[in-house]
Structure 1
Amino acid sequence: MLGGLLAGCGGDNGGNNGGGNGGNAAGGSNAASGGNAAGGDGAQTNNGGGTNAGAGTGEKIKLTMWGAVPEEAGPQAVVDAWNQANPDVQVEYVRYVNDDPGNLKLDTALMTGQDADLYMNYTLTRLQKRVDAGTAVDLSGSGYDIDGKMGPDAAQWKINDKYYGIPTKKNMGFIWLNKDMLDAAGLPVPALDWTWSDLREYAKKLTKDGVYGLLQHDAMFTATIDGTVAGLGLTKPDGSSNFDNDLWKQQFQILHDMMFVDKSTPEYGEQLTSKMPVDTMFLQGQAAMLSAGEFIFRNANNLKDYPHDFKIAFATIPKVTADQKDYKYAGGLGDVLSVNAKSKHRDAALKFAEWYADGGMLPMASGGRIPSSKSVDNKQAMDLLLKGVEDKYDADSMNKVVFGTFPSFQLDVPQQVIDARKEEYEKYFLNKQDLAATLANMAKEHEELTKK
């Protein structure tokens, strides 16, 4: 199995990526706060594996890093290791939730300079917004070879041919499967090129009292339509929007039927208002399939808080039709770590970011965050991911899907377009607007916002 794991990782945003859901509590550490002297000049590597970015200044520097992963799932161990090796540059981790309110909280802190020196971006649209706001440092002259360290997928995160953050992990998005339920229903693990029609049939056969056929994490709700338009192109040959394409129409209709006809997946309004903990429900056996990213590993591997005795298998995010060409999969690289351009300690923050990307983030591997840097020992990361839970996963599908290599994408449209599109498809899934009007409005607003 390990040979397959080491062959390469490719495939979520989708993934995007979602950095996790949960409360808004900020996580702190006992990091020592310091003076406001700029750090980084004369930096040197120490024997502890960190970078003594404040060496020679005689003053202590405090950096604050914002991310969406709960402290106990790895970030606190990361900053603790850095802080022990770098007494002159102490880092505090602050947790924010990767949703609209959480990102607004982060953006406010970045703009006002409120203790936000480093921060994680989970979508290209969010990063673009922060670049436009002047809160992301251009890394062109940093001396850190992002292309060489991270490989060709890193280029998907370039903005105006420049990097404004380091893509630190391998992104993966897929369908999590309760293999025991599949076996009981006589269903094989799906083929790699399955479709939404196939998924619908699986969901109908797997749905029963107290068990949904399919649940979807918020971060994965648009994985198929994003992968579809990434292949088709955002616009048609005549320059008009491709947001009204027939493949979107088919996928939206199938999902709507699953909600309101088959009852195999929750109605959109119910999931929205109840804030369904879909990953917890899947691990408790209340769903046979879950569309989510690798970030669910942190719960799936935590058998103390999320006990389960079934084996988990994996399938790709399905296409709309079997003959669909140029389909892209939610994946590539993610967790882009940026330095705030308004930070008083930019050099020290950059030293931490480079250390984090080149192995400092390894404590995150057990939660599914596999480092993308070629400086990191892949075997060590894989061992951490599977330690103690090897028997909880189907090895064949894990090799093919989770650690397979697929053509991936980062959706490159402004956040305003994403927001406007969401407003329209929500009307359809809340039965406030028909599908034809939904597609027409999405295309019209895409064209108008693009012109602006």
Structure 2
Amino acid sequence: MRARAGTAALLLAAGLLTACGGGGGEAGGPVEITWWHGQVENQAKVIEELAAEYNKAHPDVRIVPAVGTTNVDEMLQKVQAVLAGGKAPDIAYMYGTWSPVLAKTPKVYDLTATVKAPGFGWDDFWPSERAVAEVNGKVVGIPAVVDNLAVIYNKKLFDAVGLSYPDKDWTWDDFRAAARRLTRDGVYGTAYPVTGTEDTVWRFWPQLWQQGGDILSADGRKSAFNTPQAVQALDLWSAMARQDKSVYLDQNGEKFLPLFQSGKIGMVIAGPWALLDIIDHKIDYGVQILPGHNGDHQTIAGPDNWVVLDNGARRAQAAAAFLTWLTRPEQDARWTLGLGNLPIRKATTALPAYREFTEDFPEIDVFTANLDNATKARPQLPAYPELSEKVGNAIAQALVGGTPAQQVLTKAAAEADKVLERSR
């Protein structure tokens, strides 16, 4: 996942999805399963190949891949529209941030029995994946893609200033010092997207978690991010941006990776999706886990899911059986590794295909190992996108506008509490 999903779309979906009814299955003959994947080019080709293989081995089922929308960002809205007409797909690719909305409708098939069945191997998926797939005891999806945030750095720029490459024990103070050393001759040490969206916010949460903090109170009724530790974390970025001048503040979120690829930024906090373009630009890069606090190097993961829409028991069960097959290690290797994504299952890392994958994508195994550092997930609340917007604006105000961290976080917490109150 990159940070995604608009507040308006989610709030609209909360009402529309809940209002939709179920569909029916065929009385006889092969059961037809419509698969909306939202993928294009190479991804779509792999989808077609997997569907054809499954159909050949299962003559009683016909998996029909259909784009549905060429932009996954629009998948929820697309599904909303067809649900209103009673023609939902059987399987749809959905961002993990949509799980709280999807959990509120009976039209989304509960996959709990599927993932708990003997032989499925639910424990073989990383905890961060399972946490996003399950909402209040209901499994609303089976992981399709997983990622996490780490630091990608330009070795050439480190060498140019005589700076040692970061090790797995580095701290945020080490990160700041490295960014300061790297900043010279038109090169920024690092970057931060200050769009005010989730792309801004999810880069901040790990620093809160590393210090023992959390986003919400234990009962989920109040915000909990306005703490001295959070202020200290935001103050660090403010000092880097405004005093050290070592942070490129990307106000549209689309420039910092191209600048890294052109050798103008020394370090970026990004996910494995960034590596393909970096490799294409022939950057001599390294990957290291996030800097830590007192030895805690928690990161954040952004899993997405395959969601089953209930069009009758026969179709829903056939769709669930297909997803069981699709997410086995052998198929996982073809769907994820073949496209430059991390494995969704631990067992996949034992396959020869994974060794080849690490050769094609040097140091991507750091991202895979980093999934063990993704121990928490963002709150599974429909109101989270609106809460995130308040925090994103606060971070942008501190970094771009220079407003004190304590002031912006206090305001954001008060606004977030109002959001949470309205959502109850």
Structure 2-normalised TM-score?
A: 0.75
Count of residues paired in the alignment: 382
Matching of residue 266 in structure 1 with residue 242 in structure 2 = no
Aligned to 2:40: 71
Aligned to 1:232: 213
Question: Cα offset for 1:399?
Answer: 5.2
What aligned pairs does 1:167-246 form with structure 2 within 5 A after superposition?
A: 167-216=143-192, 221-223=200-202, 225-230=204-209, 231-235=212-216, 241-246=223-228
CA distance in structure 2 between the partners assigned to 1:152 and 1:166 by the alignment: 13
Unmatched tracts of structure 2, length 5 or more: 6-22, 57-61
Q: State the SS of the aligned residue for 2:247.
A: coil
Change over 3 Å in CA distance of 1:111–1:431 after alignment to 2: farther
Q: State the SS of the aligned residue for 1:408.
A: coil
Change over 3 Å in CA distance of 1:19–1:414 after alignment to 2: closer
Q: State the SS of the aligned residue for 2:112.
A: coil
What aligned pairs does 1:409-420 form with structure 2 within 5 A after superposition?
A: 409-420=376-387
Aligned to 2:12: none
Deviation string, structure 1 residues 127-163 (Cα, Å, up to 9, x no partner): 1112124453211233643524426555423211231
Matching of residue 38 in structure 1 with residue 25 in structure 2 = yes
Matching of residue 91 in structure 1 with residue 65 in structure 2 = yes
Question: Cα offset for 1:109?
Answer: 4.2
Aligned to 1:30: none
Matching of residue 379 in structure 1 with residue 354 in structure 2 = no
Equivalent residues of 1:260, 1:267 under 8 A apart:
no
Matching of residue 292 in structure 1 with residue 270 in structure 2 = yes
Which of 90, 93, 96 lines up with 1:117 in the alignment? 90
* Residues 105-114 or 204-213, more deviating: 105-114
Deviation string, structure 1 residues 366-419 (Cα, Å, up to 9, x no partner): 4432333366463334234235x46xx4x6xx6556535425221124242342
Q: State the SS of the aligned residue for 2:139.
A: coil
Question: Cα offset for 1:220?
Answer: 5.5
CA distance in structure 2 between the partners assigned to 1:379 and 1:354 by the alignment: 18
Equivalent residues of 1:174, 1:401 under 8 A apart:
yes
Question: Cα offset for 1:107?
Answer: 5.6
Question: Cα offset for 1:258?
Answer: 3.2
CA distance in structure 2 between the partners assigned to 1:237 and 1:153 by the alignment: 18
Change over 3 Å in CA distance of 1:110–1:219 after alignment to 2: farther
Question: Cα offset for 1:431?
Answer: 2.2
User: Hey, which of these two has a bigger chunk of helix by percent?
Assistant: 2
What aligned pairs does 1:95-174 form with structure 2 within 5 A after superposition?
A: 97=71, 102=74, 105-106=77-78, 108-109=80-81, 111-112=83-84, 116-123=89-96, 125-142=97-114, 144=117, 145-150=120-125, 152=127, 154-157=129-132, 158-174=134-150
Aligned to 2:318: 348
Change over 3 Å in CA distance of 1:315–1:219 after alignment to 2: farther
Change over 3 Å in CA distance of 1:172–1:360 after alignment to 2: same
RMSD across aligned positions (CA): 3.7
Question: Cα offset for 1:263?
Answer: 3.3
Tell me the percent identity. 18
Query: Counterpart amino acid of 1:65?
Result: W
Unmatched tracts of structure 1, length 5 or more: 1-15, 21-35, 42-55
Equivalent residues of 2:92, 2:308 under 8 A apart:
yes
Change over 3 Å in CA distance of 1:174–1:58 after alignment to 2: closer
Change over 3 Å in CA distance of 1:85–1:367 after alignment to 2: closer
Question: Cα offset for 1:292?
Answer: 0.9
Deviation string, structure 1 residues 72-124 (Cα, Å, up to 9, x no partner): 3434313333135426322123556566xx4653563464356543233443x
Equivalent residues of 1:73, 1:298 under 8 A apart:
no
Equivalent residues of 1:107, 1:130 under 8 A apart:
no
Which of 280, 283, 304 lines up with 2:261 in the alignment? 283
Equivalent residues of 2:51, 2:65 under 8 A apart:
yes
CA distance in structure 2 between the partners assigned to 1:92 and 1:219 by the alignment: 29
Equivalent residues of 2:91, 2:308 under 8 A apart:
yes
Question: Cα offset for 1:323?
Answer: 3.1
